[in-house]
Structure 1
């Protein structure tokens, strides 16, 4: 067995070295998170040019998060086994190749495949980049600042995705969004090769639980694709089969995890009530807010005739206020506790969507998006804080579980709510989101009020 990358030493010597490492790895985080939201405001133009249906658009939106969430934890093990810099370089290069496929896609199937490949690349690069950041930057104030910059890059990317997608589509074409990410990927490959030192070694004894990872990804794919296909009259039988396969894969995952010698999630982590509730909160946060925002951009452009840029302007408040909610959250958690804070945040999301049902206008979307973002920020911090309040040796696993839950929440929530929107109306979809968020909020409040909790 050999040491992991950078073991026993810090490659970032001097202030310039630390800054270069931090900037490079934070840019990896920014590009990966940007990929989740950058297609939202450009989606109507994509579907129109490719002659695709709203149901097919669901796959374009959810493929990234679905594969990202399904492969995130196994990708972290892959970095331990092969070397994190090596995995990061391969992942960034794959992101660039996938972006080229998206830019030249002539049909929605190839576009969806490109998005899925981008998600796989993001799944590999995020844990590798974070591991390198916490290895190469010296402990103490420098590392705290680096981790804070990492978090800020993710928050900024969430807000920037709506704007970048809208601006680029408005002044050029939706394909330029993908060409932009090609340029970013090329720049990151150069930066990683220049700034980060070669891996000091890799641990070939690390076992990668591919069976669980494939079952997790397959289950998510079936649960996303099945209901979407059911909405298409000509694909009912296929939809039922795909949905059944997704359910079977999810059930198989449970069995595989219990029997595996090296599971994706350690038994001690599975037994943690804090981690389970943190994961449920992370799932509920993204399932409600991502789905609501996606329905909103389609409604603003298809129903109200707004441009992608105007739609982006209405939606950017969700990410901006999420940063504010995140900043306020520690004080709220100190006063209310984890579960009540999650409940309060989800209640704000529920209220925002309920108001949106009665006020489906650009100003209403902007106002309620901000309220939803405020709740998202508070609830996300509470969920992450609660989920990672486990034994030290379980914290890396806990972080992976929480991020996986968040990405799968985006994929499954968006697929389900878009199905409601396409078969009924945007208002009904927002009402469904309001009810789901309210139920999750009530569950958190009831659990927090239970004796001995």
Structure 2
């Protein structure tokens, strides 16, 4: 009974943490136009409010997962929650663009410490069987609810309070999660005490990805063949190549053992996650701007219009639990990604004189249910056949691929949409750019389906009910 009580508390803590982290990825989206005006961001500069969080989060997740494996998951969870809450408070009081971008980067560092620790605690607390399916179903539902409801919450706060509350809202959640973790999660012994974590590798990963995104974002002013773009992207390639070299030769504990990628479940799930993360972050961004800048809808009502998407993701996550007893995760990933791709292709038909009922509602439901179907099976796949001492690393790798995919996708697809819009800004030209971006999101999902079909083994995972 005590074990079940502890397991339930751990699941509750992980659910709250995941809701908060997922919410923070989307809560700022609706408030971007008001935030840009309030602090004086440029049209392209405001995207760094998203990039600063996603890049530090994604770039340092592997270090966070490794630190959790070495120093204890509860300890890293508490440290990450404290930093996340303080950075959110600082961001709410930001007085210029630099302050807010710095606060968002600090949030990403905190999230990089707490997210892999929480996911590793979930994986080790529920190692298999029906309990694992239910636990990851709860995790995926909270992940989905946080991401989708973040848009609703952000819209209401922006319109009726201030854009600053999209930062302040994290503070009480971080405090509650900290209290629950302090009392509800049992102190854990480090899974392994080997060499020190590879900090240099984490720096190279973050610097390489930041430089890559910076080069892609600036293609709206400097063409792909311009010296500025070529040099920037070349520097990014050098930094990322140095990362691989360091990981192969370091005397410290590497961020990720390169042999881990020989596990097809791990490598396939992470490539799949990278593509899905790129598509989802970009789609949220385009839809939020379409509703506000093309259809002229206010922030609060825009947030309400994302509610069907939120409910659809939750419904898809619940459905994944039911289907998880009968079908292998690979099949759910393929089916869910196909549904989401269909929804995004439908989104690509938006028009400048459209309406929520005709242009947004239908594809929102289709895409969200498909996305919800993917979440739980994706996490289960990415931690399949991973040694206990590497669960934190595998969890960090999965979160990292999502965040890096989100930043790269937004940079590339946002630039493509802006180039398609052109220099003349009207509802019609904006609509054309957003439609192009949403169509490209569908292409990314089809690429994810191809990865699932070709990389993930057909018989690698059996339904949890059969494995119990």
From 238, 252, 271, the counterpart of 2:242: 252
Instruction: Decide whether aligned partners of structure 1 residues 353 and 21 sit closer, same or farther in structure 2, where only a CA change above 3 A counts.
Output: closer
CA contact (8 A) 2:276 2:402 kept: yes
399-408 or 81-90: which moved more?
Answer: 81-90
User: How many equivalent pairs are there?
Assistant: 442
Matches of 2:99 and 2:76, distance apart in 1? 25
Matches of 1:333 and 1:151, distance apart in 2? 13
Matches of 1:47 and 1:264, distance apart in 2? 36
Q: Which residue of 2 aligns with 1:36?
A: 25
Q: Note if 1:401 corresponds to 2:417.
A: no
Output one character per residue of 1:114-161: Cα deviation in whole Å (capped at 9) or x when no partner.
111111101101233345567789999988876654444323212221
Instruction: Decide whether aligned partners of structure 1 residues 108 and 239 sit closer, same or farther in structure 2, where only a CA change above 3 A counts.
Output: farther
Output one character per residue of 1:393-447: Cα deviation in whole Å (capped at 9) or x when no partner.
4555433322221222112112211112222211221222223333443454466
Report SS of the residue matched to 1:358: coil
Matches of 2:138 and 2:67, distance apart in 1? 25
Q: How far apart are 1:307 and its partner, in Å?
A: 1.1
Q: Note if 1:313 corresponds to 2:304.
A: yes
Matches of 1:143 and 1:275, distance apart in 2? 18
Q: Which residue of 2 aligns with 1:5?
A: none
Q: Which residue of 2 aligns with 1:4?
A: none
Q: Which residue of 1 aligns with 2:373?
A: 378
Q: Which residue of 2 aligns with 1:97?
A: 86
CA contact (8 A) 2:158 2:165 kept: yes
Matches of 1:445 and 1:146, distance apart in 2? 26
Q: Which residue of 2 aligns with 1:428?
A: 436
Matches of 1:214 and 1:76, distance apart in 2? 15
Output one character per residue of 1:62-93: Cα deviation in whole Å (capped at 9) or x when no partner.
32222212111211222343343333332222
Instruction: Decide whether aligned partners of structure 1 residues 414 and 135 sit closer, same or farther in structure 2, where only a CA change above 3 A counts.
Output: same
Matches of 1:376 and 1:139, distance apart in 2? 23
From 271, 275, 278, the counterpart of 2:262: 271
TM-score by length of 2: 0.81
Report SS of the residue matched to 1:305: coil
TM-score by length of 1: 0.84
Q: Note if 1:66 corresponds to 2:42.
A: no
CA contact (8 A) 2:62 2:396 kept: yes
Instruction: Decide whether aligned partners of structure 1 residues 146 and 371 sit closer, same or farther in structure 2, where only a CA change above 3 A counts.
Output: closer
Output one character per residue of 1:269-294: Cα deviation in whole Å (capped at 9) or x when no partner.
11122222111111111211221111
From 437, 440, 445, the counterpart of 2:445: 437
In structure 2, list runs of 5 or more residues that go unmatched. Answer: 421-432, 461-468
225-234 or 112-121: which moved more?
Answer: 225-234
Instruction: Decide whether aligned partners of structure 1 residues 357 and 293 sit closer, same or farther in structure 2, where only a CA change above 3 A counts.
Output: same
From 378, 383, 386, the counterpart of 1:388: 383
210-219 or 178-187: which moved more?
Answer: 178-187
Within 5 Å, give how 1:118-129 maps onto structure 2: 118-129=107-118
Within 5 Å, give how 1:193-212 maps onto structure 2: 193=182, 205-212=194-201
Instruction: Decide whether aligned partners of structure 1 residues 321 and 231 sit closer, same or farther in structure 2, where only a CA change above 3 A counts.
Output: same
CA contact (8 A) 2:117 2:392 kept: no
Q: How far apart are 1:103 and its partner, in Å?
A: 1.0
Instruction: Decide whether aligned partners of structure 1 residues 443 and 90 sit closer, same or farther in structure 2, where only a CA change above 3 A counts.
Output: closer
Matches of 2:456 and 2:112, distance apart in 1? 33
CA contact (8 A) 2:53 2:104 kept: yes
Within 5 Å, give how 1:229-378 maps onto structure 2: 229-232=218-221, 240-261=230-251, 262-329=253-320, 339=330, 341-360=332-351, 361=354, 362-363=356-357, 364-378=359-373
327-336 or 251-260: which moved more?
Answer: 327-336
Aligned CA RMSD, in angstroms, stands at 3.7
Report SS of the residue matched to 2:381: helix
413-422 or 394-403: which moved more?
Answer: 394-403
Matches of 2:149 and 2:451, distance apart in 1? 32
Output one character per residue of 1:248-275: Cα deviation in whole Å (capped at 9) or x when no partner.
2222222223334533222431112222
Q: How far apart are 1:221 and its partner, in Å?
A: 1.0
Within 5 Å, give how 1:107-118 maps onto structure 2: 107-118=96-107
Instruction: Decide whether aligned partners of structure 1 residues 238 and 174 sit closer, same or farther in structure 2, where only a CA change above 3 A counts.
Output: farther
Q: Which residue of 2 aligns with 1:225?
A: 214
Output one character per residue of 1:324-370: Cα deviation in whole Å (capped at 9) or x when no partner.
33333467678875555434333323322222222343232232122
Instruction: Decide whether aligned partners of structure 1 residues 279 and 197 sit closer, same or farther in structure 2, where only a CA change above 3 A counts.
Output: closer
